[in-house]
């Protein structure tokens, strides 16, 4: 989408009567009170608010009467069509646009001319939240043409990188466990199939053990990097959680194993012989796969055992600052790399996969790639901050209240996608 059509789209969202009464439908959202409190605020401002629960966990975070869908997914399209028509829904709000129920609901909404807003953790971190039309990455309406990005950024302020809100990982973990463990006793939602790839109990145990080992792993990673040859070029591969829907929905990879294997093979073929590749695990990876052993085996198979290194923890910015570039599927680490002026190659669909930002050639050519266009990277960051984000967090006050207020302001005015510098 070019700057003219995107700008026309954004303008059309605001060409209605001031604060018209809207009718919102909430589907699954963050495992947090964010959606419930957002619904309460919208209702208090005179809008109609409806909710569909798909599983028992959903009911824990919407503590008032709602519509429950308890059938098989084959019955979902007719159910959602009926809800949209019967309640004259104007706006659908959800997280995880590629989940099976959500993808079908979005198709129904589009057929009926109903706006869809998606949310998730921000492309920018740590205290930003996405509020975007239709989808993320490949499905985002944000343009991929350099001139269009520059046009969107014209007149916008620099990105405010000062941290405004603290989140609470402990609270996030507790709510996440409540949600997914409740789904193990589904009750009337017996036909619901979780979007998780792994059973929650071993995943929680594995994550807990990994967190206990984090300090030791960080020391090990620091020592490994300190012992690399001085001046030797290095690159970082940023792993993602295999349960991350951006992997399944916006790439051709079915697992991290496949992605790592492709990167190691390319590194062995085409990277400078003096170069090193660091494979960094995601901080919340549950450790259900023996990544260190798997990476070592891949490196040995391609004859680069001494030049490919697995990092079980470590400080991301320090790794990025020491690296020439970053390879990822479509992680937000790519955006942090752009902020730090590092070359980026995205193997999947990513919002930053654009000429001048990400390397657009084949992976084998990336090892000689130049850094991103600094001016374009700055324009990209300013544009996504203003158009696609609000400030706040899902799990701790006062950031949660700030995020609810900012989201309500955009939703009730139909300004999702509008460049509001103050969020």
Residue range 331-345, pLDDT digits in tens: 999 999 999 999 999
36 falls in which pLDDT band (50, 70, 90)?
Answer: very high
Residue 251 falls within a domain, yes or no?
yes
Kindly tell me if the per-residue pLDDT of 9 is higher than 60.
no
Residue 73: is it exposed, middle or buried by C-beta count within 10 angstroms (0-12/13-18/19+)?
middle
pLDDT value, residue 13: 34
Nearest to 245 by CA among 96, 352, 103: 96
Q: What is the layout of strands, in order, in the sheet containing 343-346?
A: 308-311, 276-280, 234-238, 325-328, 343-346
Do the domain assignments include residue 211? yes
Tell me the pLDDT tens digit for each residue of 157-195: 999 999 999 999 999 999 999 999 999 999 999 999 998
Q: Nearest Cα to 157, choosing from 395, 401, 378?
A: 378
Handedness of CA 337, 30, 26, 19 (dihedral sign): negative
Higher pLDDT, 295 or 243: 295
Q: What percent of the chain has a predicted confidence (pLDDT) above 90?
A: 90
* Residue 184 domain-assigned (yes or no): no
**Integer Rg of the chain from CA:** 22
- Residues 159, 246 within the same domain: no
Q: Domain check: are 408 and 352 in the same one? A: no
283 and 401 in a single domain? The answer is no
Same domain, 293 and 401: no
Question: Do 76 and 104 contact (CB within 8 A), yes or no?
Answer: yes
Query: Above 90 in pLDDT, residue 303?
Result: yes
What value does the mean pLDDT take over residues 351-365? 98
Domains held by the chain: number: 2
pLDDT on residue 18: 54
161 plus 110 within the same structural domain: yes
Residues of the domain holding 27: 3-167+383-413
Same domain, 112 and 203: no
**The pLDDT of residue 246:** 82
322 within some domain: yes
State the pLDDT at residue 243.
84
Task: Tell me whether residue 47 is in a domain.
Answer: yes
Neighbours of 327 (CB within 10 A): 30
Give dist(CA 284, CA 15) in Å, integer. 43
Please report, for residues 31, 45, 54, 374, 420, the alpha-carbon distance to residue 91 in angstroms, rounded to integers and kept in the order given.
21, 15, 18, 37, 20
Q: What is the pLDDT of residues 75-86, one digit of tens each?
A: 999 999 999 999
d(Cα 359, Cα 350) in Å, to the nearest integer? 12
**In a shared domain, residues 11 and 149:** yes
Structural domain contains residue 177: no
Residues 391, 360, single domain; the answer is no
Mean pLDDT of 4-11: 40
Q: For the chain, what is the mean pLDDT?
A: 93
Sequence-ordered list of residues with C-beta below 8 angstroms from that of 197, at least 6 positions apart, any chain:
242, 243
Please indicate, yes or no, whether residues 403 and 368 belong to a single structural domain of this protein.
Answer: no
Same domain for 157 and 217, yes or no, is no
Per-residue pLDDT for 306 more than 80? yes
- pLDDT tens for each residue of 241-261: 988 878 888 999 999 999 999
CATH number for the domain harbouring residue 225: 3.40.50
Check whether residue 134 and residue 210 sit in a common domain: no
Instruction: Classify residue 230 as exposed, middle or buried by CB count within 10 Å of its CB (0-12, 13-18, 19+).
Output: exposed
Q: What's the average model confidence in pLDDT over 210-217?
A: 95
pLDDT of 347 strictly over 60: yes
Residues 244 and 368 in one domain: yes
Domain annotation covers residue 421 = no
Residue 124 lies in a domain: yes
């Amino acid at each position: 989408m070019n700057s003219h059509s995107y700008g026309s789209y954004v303008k059309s969202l605001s060409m209605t009567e001031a604060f018209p009464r809207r009718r919102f439908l909430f589907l699954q959202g963050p495992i947090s009170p964010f959606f419930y409190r957002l619904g309460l605020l919208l209702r208090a401002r005179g809008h109609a608010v409806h909710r569909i629960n798909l599983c028992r966990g959903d009911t824990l975070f919407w503590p008032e009467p709602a519509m429950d869908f308890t059938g098989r997914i084959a019955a979902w399209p007719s159910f959602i069509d009926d809800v949209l028509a019967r309640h004259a829904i104007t706006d659908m709000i959800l997280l995880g646009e590629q989940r099976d129920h959500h993808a079908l609901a979005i198709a129904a909404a589009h057929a009926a001319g109903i706006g869809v807003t998606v949310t998730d953790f921000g492309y920018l971190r740590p205290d930003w939240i996405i509020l975007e039309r239709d989808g993320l990455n490949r499905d985002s309406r944000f343009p991929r043409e350099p001139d269009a990005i520059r046009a969107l950024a014209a007149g916008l302020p620099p990105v405010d990188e000062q941290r405004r809100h603290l989140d609470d990982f402990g609270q996030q973990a507790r709510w996440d466990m409540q949600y997914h463990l409740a789904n193990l006793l589904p009750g009337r939602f017996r036909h619901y199939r979780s979007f998780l790839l792994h059973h929650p109990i071993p995943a929680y145990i594995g994550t807990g053990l990994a967190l206990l080992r984090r300090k030791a792993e960080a020391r090990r990673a620091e020592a490994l990097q300190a012992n690399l040859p001085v001046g030797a070029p290095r690159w970082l591969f940023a792993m993602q959680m295999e349960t991350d829907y951006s992997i399944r929905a916006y790439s051709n990879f079915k697992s991290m194993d496949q992605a790592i294997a492709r990167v190691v093979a390319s590194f062995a073929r085409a990277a400078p012989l003096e170069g090193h590749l660091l494979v960094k695990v995601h901080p919340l990876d549950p450790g259900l796969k023996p990544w260190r052993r798997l990476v070592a085996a891949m490196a040995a198979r391609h004859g680069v055992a001494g030049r490919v290194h697995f990092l079980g923890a470590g400080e991301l910015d320090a790794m990025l600052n020491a690296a020439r570039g970053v390879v990822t599927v479509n992680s937000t680490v790519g955006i942090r790399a752009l902020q730090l002026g590092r070359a980026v190659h995205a193997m999947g669909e990513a919002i930053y996969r654009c000429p001048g930002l990400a390397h657009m050639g084949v992976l084998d050519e990336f090892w000689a790639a130049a850094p991103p266009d600094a001016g374009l990277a700055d324009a990209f960051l300013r544009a996504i901050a203003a158009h696609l984000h609000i400030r706040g967090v899902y799990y701790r006050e006062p950031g949660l209240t700030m995020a609810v207020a900012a989201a309500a302001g955009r939703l009730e005015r139909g300004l999702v996608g509008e460049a509001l510098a103050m969020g």
